[in-house]
Chains A and B, each alone.
Chain A
C-alpha cells in the first residue's frame, strides 16, 4: 500500500486520469456515483413536480381511512369498514399463505418428479418428461386461468353437490370450493399441545444423543423412525388420555353456498395448484440435474465399501447433489413468490389485488401503493434469499 501510494505521488499528470489504471478506477467510481445521484435527484424532482401538477400530495394517511370493499379470504378479522391498512395486511397474509403453500407443494412434487424422471421404468420417466415439458412451456398465467376455469366451470354448483351427498355427506366439492369438516378442539386439547412440544424437544435431544452414542460406541439407532413415532404418538396419547375432546363442524348447504366447515376456495386452489405444478416442473429438472451431477463413480465407490443403497443416497449422493440443487432452487422459490402476483387475474385477494388494485383505484394514491407493493415483494424475496443463502453455506462444499 505504502509502495503504491509513494508511486502514485511521483508526479501526477492529467493524462494519467484515463491512462493509469489506478487513477482511472477512482475517476470511474466518482463518475458513476455522480451519475447515480443526478438520476435519483431527477426522478424525485420529477415525481414531486408531477404530483404538484396533478394537485396530489404524497403521504400514507389514506391507509387509515375505511377500505369499504370486501375480501373473500381473510385470515384475520376484516370487513368493508376496516381500514386500507388492514386490507393490505389481509393481502400480505394471502400472498404469504399462497407463497408458502406453493413452495411446500412445489418442493415435494419437484423432488418426486425429479427422481421419477430418472427412473429406469420407461413409462414413468416418459410421463414425467411429458408433464415437465408441457408445464414449463405454457405461461403460468394461462395455467392459472385453466385451473380456475376447470374448478368454476366443470364442478357442480353447491346445490347439486349437496343433492349428490358429496362424500358421506361431510365432504363437498363444488364450484364454490372444497368443503370439509372442521375440527373443533374442546377442553383438554392443551395437554396434546404440551405433549407435542415435549415430543419435539425429545426428538431434538434424541437425535443429538444418538449421534453421540454412535460416535462413542458405534451403535446406530433408527433416529428418523423413532422420532416420527414419538412426535405422532405422544400427542395422540395425550389426546386419548383426555378422552378425545374433539368435535367436527360439518359443512351444510345454506342458501346458495355451504356454511361451516373448512374450505379451500376456488381462487386459492387454482392459484396454488397452478403455481405449484408450474414451479415443480422447473424444480424437477433442477433435482434431476443435481443427482446426475454426482458421478456414478461415487455410488460405485460407496457400494464397494459395503454401504447399502439407502446410506449411499443419504451419506454420499444427497450431500453432493444438494450443493448443485440449492442455488437454482432459491431462484425458483423467488419466482413462485413473485408469480403469485398473477392472482389478480382470478380475483385472489393478495397484496397486488388489495393495495395495488382496489385501494389504488379508490384512493388514487398510485405512487404510495406501488411503493408499498414493491417493498413487500422485496421483503418476501430477501427473506427467502437470506434463508436459502444460509442453508447453502451450511451445505456448501469445501474444495481447494
Chain B
C-alpha cells in the first residue's frame, strides 16, 4: 500500500469523486472508507496488480475506485439501483471496474458474469452478513483472503455489537473458513468490525445448497 507523507493513497492520476490529491496520487480517507481505516490499523491484506477482487456492497463506488487503482480488476456488486447510478459513472471512468447489479444474498442472479477472484471484500448493509459471505465463497480461489465489514447495527440493533460479531465469526468457522483476526474500526467508524480470514481450501458448496 502506498503512502505519501504518511497519508494513505491509491495510485490513480486524477480525482474520481472529488477527493484530494497527494504527491500526484489519490488520497484514500479512512473516515470515508472502512477499508482505508483497516489499512490504517494495519489489518487488511495487500491488494496487488494481478489480483481479481470480488467486491460485495459496492455502493456509490468510492472505495471501489481506490481498490481498482491497486488491483487487476474489480467485480463491484451492488443491489440498490440508486447507488448503482453513481457506480456506473465511476466504472465509466475506470476501465477495470465491472459493475454488477445484483443481490449479494442471491449469487445465482449474477455468478455467470464473474471469474474466480483472488480476494473477497464485503461491505453490505443487510442482516445475515456471514451467510452472504459464505454464499459467495465459491467464487474465490481456495484459501484466498477475505475481508468482511460487519455493520453490527445492521444485524440486530438491540444486541451487543461484540456478540453479533462473535456469532458471525463462528458461522464462518463452522463452514470451513479460517478467521485470522477481528478488528474494530475505532476511531474512524463506530460499531464496525472487520473480519479478516481465508476462504476454505477445499471446493465449497454454500450451506443449504447440497444435493
Please indicate whether A and B come from the same complex rather than being unrelated chains: no
Chain A interface (Cβ < 8 Å from any Cβ of B): none
